[in-house]
């Protein structure tokens, strides 16, 4: 599968699914984000990148209601998410936080099934629709073959795929992921990004992910948002618009930009410490 | 593995049948335990006679009269106390994500006992007047809830916030504090001390049907509430952020779970005084033998708790017969090693 989007299958770029307006958020009284505004296009893959402590995870938390904003508003299809009923929001917006807890001995099937929580009620427990959604999510993520095994028996990459399966089983139009490729070796990183790309391209989902690998973000995402010091420093859409100057500004390093030999897209190579341009 | 590939989702369901069978087996064990428990006393009565006494009562038969007239109340109270403690322990372990979560360790029992003694010395919940009996489980639940809130507040202080170890240490400290207040109250009031001495050790004695009914009503409401929030508790087991993302209202879920735990603990303390370790052992036994899924863990912890309490009560009354030990002493003998085992496993 080509990491580049097929334009004919993607919805027009002017449909905004998720939007943050003049958002300030943080922990305690300390505002990590101050006055951030961001529009996330429907059916696209948006990557958030930036140095440690730049506010990427805080932005993701505030946009998914894990964190109440100090100021500003987040809207999903025009509705303010902090005023929606929790379960109703969870049927439209899914969030996979970093380092979720791994209950001992929980089977993959049981974990993915818990993604169906927002679709269940006191009198409406497990249904055929739940079963079908779980099976679809597991098929898509390639986790069906170890459905019965405990999650804590699996490798890091398989485990991450199980958590993503849980988020997919939630059947939300929009999925937010905080560093879904952290601590994974390169092969699993590529696998997860292929999967996220497939979700936007072939399943019409809107994906927002915090990523730490700049080149992977540039080659997989439809839009790359650069954060630094709690503010957005630049947005590359398409990511080919990325410039070495923007990267120097955000990450404080000098990079060389070379064309990808197959796709022609930009690839950034950090210069060694002493070699200034 | 081709079989697993063609019908992969039927397999977890088959395991669900296995869990159902295990649950039914636990219930069957409980019925057997009930028959043995009814047989035990100053004069042992064989299970065959016990069953006939229950299902074909003959008022002319002396054994039947002993079972229905004297022993049935103790059995029913034991069932309620054990089930309430087991379920309360399961709720506390799930919601505090602490393997040592238990009404005794976390101070709920001590708070409940203090509240009951205080109300008794003030003349509010003592004696056998119906109003006092009806108030007792609720007074105990309020005491349990208040002391536990204090413990949570105290252990949340500090830079690293609420850690499992701090909750346990605060629980032990505040329990000791509440127990010494209880002792002080009792020293000042000798009449109450005489009435409550055995009760304070945790024992199924001095029971009445009115007291049982008054404890059963709040316990039943709490149990229904607890069963209703088991899907939320399952989501909470994946971490607070995942649970919020799935649409769980964290504050409401915690409040409901802790409220139910306090009511269940209050019901049990009002009948049998502070009985320890049943709430610790029962959920761990269910987890190891049957399932960690809250939807099964919560109800089956009630079954396991009843089994353990009846077993301990039977042992308390037979080991040194004709003398009787307090039920709570037996549960502590059983529970303390389990407590140490869990500590060595989780707090290395």
Bridge partners for A107 per DSSP = A150
Give pLDDT, residue A72.
Answer: 92
A259 touches chain B (CB under 8 A): no
Helix or strand holding residue A95 (H, E): strand A93-96
Taking alpha carbons only, the member of B250, B237, B242 closest to residue A97 is B242
CB contact under 8 A, B245 and A117: no
Pairs across A and B, CB distance < 8 A? 86
CB contact under 8 A, A106 and B292: yes
* Three-class HEC string of B233-270: HHHHCCCHHHHHHCCCCHHHHHHHHHHHHHHHHHHHHH
Please check whether residue B81 lies inside any domain of the structure.
yes
Minimal Cα–Cα distance from A273 to chain B, Å?
37
Are B309 and B77 in contact, with CB atoms under 8 Å apart?
no
Mutation site, A86, A92, A137, A169, interface B, largest B CB count within 10 A: A86
Question: What is the ipTM for the molecules in this complex?
Answer: 0.85
Give pLDDT, residue B7.
Answer: 44
| Residue A227 pLDDT grade (very low, low, confident, very high; cuts 50, 70, 90) | very high
- Would you state the torsion angle of the CA atoms of residues A6, A12, A13, A14, taken in this order, to the nearest 10 degrees? 180
Q: Is a pLDDT exceeding 50 seen at residue A1?
A: no
| Residue A8 pLDDT grade (very low, low, confident, very high; cuts 50, 70, 90) | very low
Show Cβ contacts of residue B104 under 8 Å, excluding neighbours closer than 6 positions: B110, B175, B274, B275, B276, B277, B279, B280
A-chain CB neighbours of B8 within 8 Å are 135, 138, 144-145, 147
Helix or strand holding residue A250 (H, E): helix A244-251
B-chain CB neighbours of A117 within 8 Å are 231-232, 234-235, 246-248
Minimal Cα–Cα distance from B276 to chain A, Å?
26
Show Cβ contacts of residue A232 under 8 Å, excluding neighbours closer than 6 positions: A36, A37, A38, A225, A226
Q: Is a pLDDT exceeding 80 seen at residue A145?
A: yes
Q: Which two tokens stand for residue A217?
A: 């973000």
Q: Closest residue of B to A96, CA-based?
A: B242
> Concatenated DSSP letters for A46-66?
EEEE-STTSSHHHHHHHHTTS
A126 touches chain B (CB under 8 A): no
Chain B interface with A: residues with Cβ < 8 Å: 1, 4-5, 8-9, 11-12, 15, 97, 228, 231-232, 234-235, 237-239, 241-242, 244-249, 292-293
A-chain CB neighbours of B15 within 8 Å are 148
Q: How far is CA A40 from CA A259, B45, B50, in A?
A: 27, 75, 71
How far is it, in rounded angstroms, from Cα B248 to Cα B313? Answer: 40
A208 touches chain B (CB under 8 A): no
Q: Is a pLDDT exceeding 80 seen at residue A231?
A: yes
Q: Is a pLDDT exceeding 80 seen at residue A2?
A: no
Are B147 and B107 in contact, with CB atoms under 8 Å apart?
yes
Alpha helices, DSSP H only, in A86-229?
86-90, 108-113, 128-141, 156-169, 186-203, 214-220
A165 touches chain B (CB under 8 A): no
Q: Is B126 left (phi over 0), alpha (psi -120 to 50) or beta?
A: beta
B-chain CB neighbours of A106 within 8 Å are 237, 292
Please check whether residue B143 lies inside any domain of the structure.
yes
| Residue A12 pLDDT grade (very low, low, confident, very high; cuts 50, 70, 90) | low
SS3 content of chain A, % helix, strand, coil (to 5): 35, 25, 35
Q: How far is CA A193 from CA A2, A182, A189, A200, B261, in A?
A: 11, 12, 6, 11, 44
Cα A100 off chain centre by:
15
DSSP-derived letter for residue A12 is: P
Give pLDDT, residue A275.
Answer: 53
- Would you state the torsion angle of the CA atoms of residues B24, B27, B33, B34, taken in this order, to the nearest 10 degrees? -140
Domain that holds residue B191: 71-346
Mutation site, B96, B246, B286, interface A, largest A CB count within 10 A: B246
Question: pLDDT per position in chain B (348 positions), as tens?
Answer: 333 344 445 445 545 677 788 888 999 999 999 999 999 887 888 888 888 888 888 888 888 888 888 889 999 999 999 999 999 999 999 998 888 888 998 999 999 999 988 888 887 655 566 777 788 889 999 999 999 999 988 888 776 777 778 888 899 999 999 999 998 888 888 777 777 878 888 888 878 888 899 999 999 999 999 999 999 999 999 988 899 999 999 889 999 999 999 999 999 999 998 898 999 999 999 988 888 889 899 999 999 999 999 999 999 888 887 788 888 888 988 888 888 888 888 776
Minimal Cα–Cα distance from A255 to chain B, Å?
36
Mutation site, A117, A127, A128, A208, interface B, largest B CB count within 10 A: A117
Residue that is written with structure tokens 């205080």 in the block: B118
3 state SS of A93? strand
Are A48 and A210 in contact, with CB atoms under 8 Å apart?
yes
Q: Closest residue of B to A175, CA-based?
A: B245
Show Cβ contacts of residue B214 under 8 Å, excluding neighbours closer than 6 positions: B130, B133, B134, B136, B137, B270
CB contact under 8 A, A147 and B292: no
Q: Residue B286: which CATH number?
A: 1.10.3470.10
Please check whether residue B91 lies inside any domain of the structure.
yes
Please check whether residue B328 lies inside any domain of the structure.
yes
Mutation site, A114, A125, A210, interface B, largest B CB count within 10 A: A114
Q: Closest residue of B to A170, CA-based?
A: B246
Minimal Cα–Cα distance from B15 to chain A, Å?
9
Q: What is the mean pLDDT of residues A244-249?
A: 90
A89 touches chain B (CB under 8 A): yes
Minimal Cα–Cα distance from B11 to chain A, Å?
7
Alpha helices, DSSP H only, in chain B?
2-6, 10-39, 47-55, 62-65, 72-96, 108-121, 130-156, 164-188, 190-200, 209-228, 230-236, 240-245, 250-272, 278-289, 294-318, 327-346
Give pLDDT, residue A242.
Answer: 87
Q: What pLDDT digit, counting tens, does each position of A158-199 carry?
A: 888 899 999 999 999 999 999 998 878 888 889 889 999 999
How far is it, in rounded angstroms, from Cα A223 to Cα A214? Answer: 12
Please check whether residue B186 lies inside any domain of the structure.
yes
Give pLDDT, residue A171.
Answer: 92
Domains annotated on chain A, with CATH:
7-92+172-270 (3.40.50.300), 102-171 (no CATH)
A145 touches chain B (CB under 8 A): yes
How far is it, in rounded angstroms, from Cα A112 to Cα A135? Answer: 9
Residue that is written with structure tokens 């009787």 in the block: B324
Q: Which two tokens stand for residue A190?
A: 């590529």
Q: Which two tokens stand for residue A191?
A: 């696998």
Q: How far is CA B274 from CA A197, A210, B196, B231, B284, in A?
A: 58, 51, 11, 30, 20
A131 touches chain B (CB under 8 A): yes
Mutation site, B159, B235, B245, interface A, largest A CB count within 10 A: B245
Are B312 and B281 in contact, with CB atoms under 8 Å apart?
no
| Residue A5 pLDDT grade (very low, low, confident, very high; cuts 50, 70, 90) | very low
A104 touches chain B (CB under 8 A): yes
Least CB–CB distance from B246: residue in A88, A99, A117 = A117
Q: Is a pLDDT exceeding 80 seen at residue A273?
A: no
Sheet with A231-236: strands ordered across: A93-96, A174-178, A206-210, A45-49, A223-228, A231-236
Quote the number of domains for chain B.
1
Give pLDDT, residue A220.
Answer: 92
Q: What is the mean pLDDT of residues A113-122?
A: 89
Give pLDDT, residue B73.
Answer: 92
């Amino acid at each position: 599968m080509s990491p580049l989007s097929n334009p004919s299958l993607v919805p027009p770029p002017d449909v905004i699914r998720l939007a943050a307006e003049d958002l300030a958020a943080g922990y305690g009284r300390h505002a990590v984000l101050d006055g951030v505004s961001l529009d996330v296009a429907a059916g696209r893959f948006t990557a958030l990148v930036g140095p440690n402590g730049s506010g990427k995870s805080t932005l993701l938390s505030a946009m998914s209601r894990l964190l109440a904003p100090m100021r500003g508003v987040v809207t999903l299809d025009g509705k303010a998410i902090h005023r929606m009923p929790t379960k109703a929001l969870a049927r439209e917006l899914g969030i996979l936080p970093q380092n979720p807890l791994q209950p001992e001995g929980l089977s993959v099937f049981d974990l993915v099934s818990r993604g169906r929580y927002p679709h269940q009620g006191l009198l409406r427990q497990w249904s055929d629709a739940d079963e079908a959604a779980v099976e679809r999510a597991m098929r898509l993520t390639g986790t069906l073959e170890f459905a019965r095994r405990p999650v804590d028996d699996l490798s890091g990459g398989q485990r991450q795929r199980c958590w993503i399966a849980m988020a997919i089983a939630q059947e939300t139009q929009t999925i937010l992921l905080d560093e879904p490729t952290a601590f994974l070796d390169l092969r699993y990183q590529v696998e997860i990004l292929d999967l996220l790309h497939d979700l936007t391209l072939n399943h019409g989902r809107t994906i927002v992910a915090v990523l730490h690998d700049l080149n992977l973000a540039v080659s997989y995402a439809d839009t790359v948002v650069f954060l630094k010091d709690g503010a957005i420093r630049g947005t590359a859409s398409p990511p080919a618009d990325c410039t070495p100057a923007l990267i120097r500004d955000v990450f404080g390093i000098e990079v060389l930009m070379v064309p990808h030999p197959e796709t022609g897209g930009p690839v950034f190579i950090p210069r060694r410490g002493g070699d200034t341009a | 593995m081709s079989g697993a590939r063609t019908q992969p989702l039927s397999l977890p369901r088959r395991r669900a049948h296995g869990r159902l069978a295990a649950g039914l087996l636990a219930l069957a064990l409980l019925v057997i335990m009930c028959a043995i428990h009814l047989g035990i006393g100053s004069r042992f009565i064989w299970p065959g006679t016990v069953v006939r006494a229950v299902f074909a009562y003959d008022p002319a038969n002396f054994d039947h009269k002993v079972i229905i007239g004297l022993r049935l109340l103790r059995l029913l109270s034991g069932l309620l106390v054990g089930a309430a403690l087991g379920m309360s322990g399961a709720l506390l372990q799930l919601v505090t994500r602490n393997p040592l979560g238990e009404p005794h360790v976390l101070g709920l029992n001590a708070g409940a006992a203090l509240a009951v003694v205080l109300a008794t010395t003030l003349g509010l919940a003592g004696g056998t007047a119906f109003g006092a009996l009806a108030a007792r489980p609720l007074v105990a639940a309020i005491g349990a809830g208040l002391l536990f809130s204090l413990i949570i507040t105290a252990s949340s202080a500090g830079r690293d916030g609420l850690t499992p170890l701090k909750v346990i240490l605060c629980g032990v400290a505040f329990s000791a504090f509440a127990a010494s207040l209880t002792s002080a109250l009792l020293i000042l009031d000798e009449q109450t001390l005489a009435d409550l001495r055995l009760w304070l050790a945790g024992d199924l004695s001095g029971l009445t049907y009115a007291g049982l009914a008054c404890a059963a009503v709040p316990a039943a409401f709490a149990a229904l509430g607890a069963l209703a929030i088991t899907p939320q508790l399952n989501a909470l087991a994946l971490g607070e952020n995942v649970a919020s993302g799935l649409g769980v209202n964290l504050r409401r879920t915690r409040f409901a779970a802790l409220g139910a735990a306090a009511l269940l603990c209050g019901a049990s303390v009002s009948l049998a005084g502070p009985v320890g370790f049943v709430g610790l052992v029962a959920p761990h036994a269910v987890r190891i033998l049957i399932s960690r899924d809250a939807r099964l863990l919560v109800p089956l912890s009630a079954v396991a708790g009843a089994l353990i309490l009846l077993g301990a009560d039977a042992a308390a009354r037979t080991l040194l017969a004709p003398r009787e030990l307090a039920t709570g002493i037996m549960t502590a003998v059983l529970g303390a090693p389990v407590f140490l085992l869990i500590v060595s496993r989780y707090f290395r």
